[in-house]
């Protein structure tokens, strides 16, 4: 299938982009890399006759430290993070996630902002950023709004963005030297969307103990019981395997619709357990 007629607009500033979208009554679509938007429009899952290219906006291509956190502009590509062209204040976590996204051709054009706005629960960045406790910076017609990423994604390909709002970038923590992290996903073949994603971030200095599960429902979720357990988990604990099984059984029952006897339930439990063990061994 092919998309319908599209009018292309290129802008140089955030305010220009929002103003132009207002003239189209909020019906225009913002595009940076186009790796999510264009396929969706071609499949007629998204409809718009107006596309606003925001990839050349300087403010969306910046990355910098700010008050103990690190800002990554929405138009920064996966490849830029993978190649180290953007400082990784997460001790290799972001770079590791980026290098596993789809194929190099996709990573060359796809952007971190486009990924979270598309809000596919099987995409990498929504789950990876949730485990980091990241926030999304949104620009509306009058002000900037900081929204925790767990509140930004509302459901299956749904976000808290209003019609003309534009994602400016994401804020991630600057992790300490003692951080332990892991990112594990299961795909049937390389490059496809995952069938299960587990992200673990443990940083006692920041009080960060997060276990996130993706590709298991309409949006990534934090596994609350496991996250609390990670604050005291010990790889040498003889009962670790049993305790993880019990915690995960409860967390998965509360956060997914899968039955304990199902393939999906056991897949997610296996992937999360693997991620936990990898993180604790660091």
* pLDDT > 90? residue 44: no
E runs forming strands in the chain: 7-10, 29-31, 50-53, 63-66, 69-73, 135-139, 144-148, 153-155, 158-159, 166-173, 180-186, 196-203, 208-214, 221-222
Give me the domains of the chain, ranges plus CATH numbers. 7-53 (3.30.43.10), 58-173 (3.30.465.10), 180-280 (3.30.390.50)
Q: Has residue 160 got a pLDDT over 90? A: yes
Model confidence at 162: pLDDT above 70: yes
Model pLDDT for residues 115-149, shown as the tens digit of each residue? 999 999 999 999 999 999 999 999 999 999 999 99
Q: Kindly report the average pLDDT of the chain as a whole number.
A: 95
Residue 268 · residue 243 · CB < 8 Å: no
184 pLDDT band, cuts 50/70/90, is: very high
The answer on pLDDT for 52 being more than 90 is: yes
Q: Judge whether residue 204 has pLDDT over 90.
A: yes
Average pLDDT over residues 214-227: 97
* Residue 208 pLDDT exceeds 70: yes
Phi-psi region of 30 (alpha: psi -120 to 50; beta: other; left: phi over 0): beta
Give the pLDDT of residue 5.
Answer: 82
Quote the pTM value.
0.95
pLDDT at 45 over 80: no
Does pLDDT of 2 surpass 70?
no
Residue 10 has pLDDT above 90, yes or no: yes
Give residue 1's pLDDT: 58
pLDDT, residue 223, reads: 98
Cα separations in angstroms, 3 against 43, 45, 173, 220, 223: 7, 9, 39, 29, 39
């Amino acid at each position: 299938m092919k998309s319908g007629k599209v009018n292309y607009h290129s802008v140089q500033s955030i305010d220009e982009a929002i103003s132009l979208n207002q003239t189209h009554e909020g019906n225009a679509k913002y595009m940076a890399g186009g790796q999510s938007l264009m396929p969706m429009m071609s499949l007629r899952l998204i409809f718009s006759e107006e596309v606003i290219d925001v990839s050349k906006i300087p403010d969306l291509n910046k990355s910098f430290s700010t008050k103990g956190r690190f800002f990554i502009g929405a138009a920064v590509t996966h490849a830029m993070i993978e190649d180290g062209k953007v400082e990784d204040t997460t001790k290799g976590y972001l770079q590791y996630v980026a290098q596993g996204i789809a194929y190099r051709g996709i990573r060359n054009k796809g952007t971190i902002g486009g990924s979270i706005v598309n809000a596919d629960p099987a995409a990498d960045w929504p789950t990876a950023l949730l485990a980091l406790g990241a926030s999304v910076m949104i620009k509306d017609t009058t002000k900037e709004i900081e929204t925790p990423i767990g509140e930004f994604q509302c459901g299956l390909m749904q976000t808290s963005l209003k019609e003309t709002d534009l994602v400016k970038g994401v804020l991630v923590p600057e992790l300490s030297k003692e951080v332990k992290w892991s990112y594990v996903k299961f795909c049937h073949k390389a490059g496809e969307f995952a069938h299960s994603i587990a992200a673990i971030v443990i940083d006692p200095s920041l009080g960060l103990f997060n276990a996130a599960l993706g590709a298991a429902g309409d949006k990534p979720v934090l596994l609350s019981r496991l996250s609390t357990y990670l604050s005291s988990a010990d790889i040498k604990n003889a009962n670790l395997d049993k305790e993880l099984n019990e915690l995960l059984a409860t967390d998965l029952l509360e956060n997914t619709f899968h039955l304990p006897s199902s393939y999906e339930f056991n897949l997610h439990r296996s992937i999360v357990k693997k991620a936990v063990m990898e993180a604790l061994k660091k």
